[in-house]
Chain A
Amino acid sequence: MFTATTLNRRSQRAQGVARAVFFLMTVTLVIPVLIIAGTLVVKGGPAISWEFLFSAPRDGMTAGGIFPALVGTVWLVAVALLASVPVGVAAALYLSEYAPDNLLTRTINLAIINLAGVPSIVHALFGVGAFVLFFNIGASILAASLTLAVMTLPVVIVATRESLQAVPQAFREACWNMGATRWQTIRKVVLPNSISGILTGVILEVSRTAGETAPIMFTGAAAFVAFLPNSVLDQTMAMSYHLYYIATQQTGVPEEIPFGVALVLISIVLLMNAISIGFRVYLRGLKKW
């Protein structure tokens, strides 16, 4: 019969140690999320009220609420999504359904990695040079949103491509065998089977877009705008820039206000993420293959 040798015992012990060490490493990484969230709730919680959420800042931002910034963030995210989702989905469709394995495809993939890797402040410079100045849109929601759209494009492309590739090849082949064109196959078979994954990616993009600061600083976000935006050509306040501004540029702001802003911002972002995650888990349960 089997008896444990010294060697067995030693490998077992090594395994136990490795497991414990890696577990501690993981915990070290995730504990700060809980600490940060906890601190923001404790320090920012008292600032949150209906008045805080639904009124404008007053007295040089030392009092009042965040309503214009909230509305501005919604505008920025909505316009950015309108611009980036169609392009991103098209790019993913090309890569997943059409692209041959050639130099062009490799270049596209490299471009996507680079687009995701370019520093956010360089995206901001691009936004200034291209949208604000060259296309003469001026500092506005449109220019800021387009900058955000370019920056978050890889998020949509990668998520969409992944969910497209999760559709089994046999589904496509079955459809082609019925005489369908490539596009008919995509529209009737591939997209319906991957739409949920695409949506998950889009929600993730919302979360990412809502939190970005650097790309909008010089392209359309303003420290204080007395009115709510009427069109995409207005400048706007935004949650992320508002937090930066009152935390660093404005003096005499009571401590709970920036904590409150940070709490609301992080709640929006984490809520979006939670929806995206929940959606993904739910869909995994529905999967038929």
Chain B
Amino acid sequence: MDRRDLAWYVDRVAQALVFVGGISAIIFILGIFVFVTKEGLDFVLGALDPGEFFTSIAWRPTSNNPTYGALALMVGTASVTGFAMLFSVPLSLGAALYIGEFATGKTREALKILVEMLAAIPSVVWGFVGMSIMNPLIIETFDVPVGLGVLNAGLILGLMAAPIMTTIAEDALKAVPDTYREAAEALGATRWEVIRRVVIPASKNGLLAAVLLGVGRGFGETMAVLMASGHAINLPTSPFDSVRALTATIAAELGDTVYGSNHYGALFTLGIFLFLVTFIINLTADVVVRGIRKK
């Protein structure tokens, strides 16, 4: 066997290994679905009452007569994520525009690094910040008895989701060819006019993707929401109300369940629900972005 032959075989083997690595992401995402479903399936087919699950707020898995209504948990997740996005989306897109289009040199580098640092703070630290710094601050500022609730968790979550949105949005702005900008500037447009009339319209698919990823991040956040939301089953009527999120419920309760019990199955069912919703969000984002790109 001459040298060239060996190289050819090595090439084939390498290609096969790399291919296995390539499809690993598909294997894992299927694996997640299969294994989470496997643990929750008995409950879904047995004790689960879909009507109760989606319309009742009574999540009482440990009572003598257990009920598994997840509505309050869904509302809890939605209210915290919604509140977070309310301020985080405009701030993040604004920051992306400033960093991507206005800032130059050292300022730009410094801001980018700070945004990266924001992204690096672990969620458990955010949760701790919510409990120990924001909580007293909210109690004092708004004169309310408890500072753990929609406001606290929403602010924390908004800050946590901001770096992803900022980074992805900035990438989208960067992807707009400089020739577009130069053409507009040659016509006498100011930088802001270039941004408003050329850059934003040209990058709107990327900006939309950024927002969707931010929503997904907020939706799935666990530790920070668990620690900062108050974790009380409640349909919130004010930003100061405590709520409980889907993710936080699993994190708080799984450790106390008996393997194979209905409670155990119910928590995995919440997991299936979370998986499906995030999957749909991501799929929609992909389809929407692709559709816009085609046009």
Residues of A at under 8 Å CB distance from B? Answer: 11-12, 14-15, 18-19, 21-23, 25-26, 28-30, 32-34, 36, 39-40, 86-91, 93-95, 97-99, 104, 107-108, 110-115, 117-126, 128-130, 133-134, 150, 153-154, 157, 181-184, 186, 207-208, 210-214, 217-218, 240-241, 243-244, 247-248, 255, 258-259, 262, 265-266, 269-270, 272-273, 277, 281
Task: Determine if A29 and B118 form an interchain contact, defined as CB atoms under 8 angstroms apart.
Answer: yes
Identify 12 residue pairs between A and B in the complex whose beta-carbon atoms are under 8 Å apart, listed by A's number: A14-B193, A36-B129, A90-B18, A91-B24, A98-B19, A117-B216, A120-B222, A121-B222, A125-B39, A154-B25, A181-B10, A244-B227
Q: Which residues of B in the span 152-193 have a Cβ within 8 Å of any Cβ on A? A: 159, 162, 166, 189-193
Q: Does B58 contact A (CB under 8 A)?
A: no
Known: A90-B20, A183-B10. A29 touches B124 (CB 8 A): no
Known: A22-B94, A114-B279, A210-B122. A108 touches B23 (CB 8 A): yes
Task: Determine if A213 and B223 form an interchain contact, defined as CB atoms under 8 angstroms apart.
Answer: yes
Expressed in whole angstroms, the minimum distance between the Cβ of A177 and any Cβ of chain B is: 16
CB-CB < 8 A to A134: which residues of B?
35, 38
CB-CB < 8 A to B131: which residues of A?
247-248
Interchain CA distance A86-B29 in the complex, whole Å = 18
Known: A29-B95, A98-B15, A117-B278. A125 touches B36 (CB 8 A): yes
CB-CB < 8 A to A121: which residues of B?
220, 222, 247, 250-251, 271, 274
Residue of A nearest to B17 (CB): A90
Please tell me which one of the listed residues B25, B35, B128, B279 contacts residue A258 in the complex, with CB atoms under 8 A apart.
B128
Expressed in whole angstroms, the minimum distance between the Cβ of B223 and any Cβ of chain A is: 5
Task: Determine if A211 and B192 form an interchain contact, defined as CB atoms under 8 angstroms apart.
Answer: no
Residues of B at under 8 Å CB distance from A? Answer: 7-8, 10-11, 14-15, 17-26, 28-29, 31-32, 35-36, 38-39, 90-92, 94-95, 97-99, 102-103, 109, 111, 113-118, 120-125, 127-129, 131-133, 159, 162, 166, 189-193, 195-196, 213, 216-217, 219-223, 227, 247, 250-251, 254-255, 259, 267-268, 271, 274-275, 278-279, 281-283, 285-286
Please tell me which one of the listed residues A122, A182, A258 contacts residue B15 in the complex, with CB atoms under 8 A apart.
A182
A244-B128, A265-B124 are known; give 19 further A-B pairs, CB within 8 A: A18-B195, A23-B103, A30-B111, A33-B118, A36-B125, A90-B20, A104-B23, A120-B123, A121-B251, A126-B36, A182-B14, A183-B10, A213-B123, A214-B222, A214-B223, A218-B254, A243-B124, A258-B132, A269-B121
Task: Determine if A22 and B275 form an interchain contact, defined as CB atoms under 8 angstroms apart.
Answer: no
Task: Determine if B254 and A247 form an interchain contact, defined as CB atoms under 8 angstroms apart.
Answer: no
Interchain CA distance A142-B94 in the complex, whole Å = 42
Residue of A nearest to B223 (CB): A213
Known: A90-B24, A134-B35. A181 touches B120 (CB 8 A): no
Residue of A nearest to B118 (CB): A33
Please tell me which one of the listed residues B25, B91, B113, B125 contacts residue A29 in the complex, with CB atoms under 8 A apart.
B91
Residue of B nearest to A31 (CB): B114
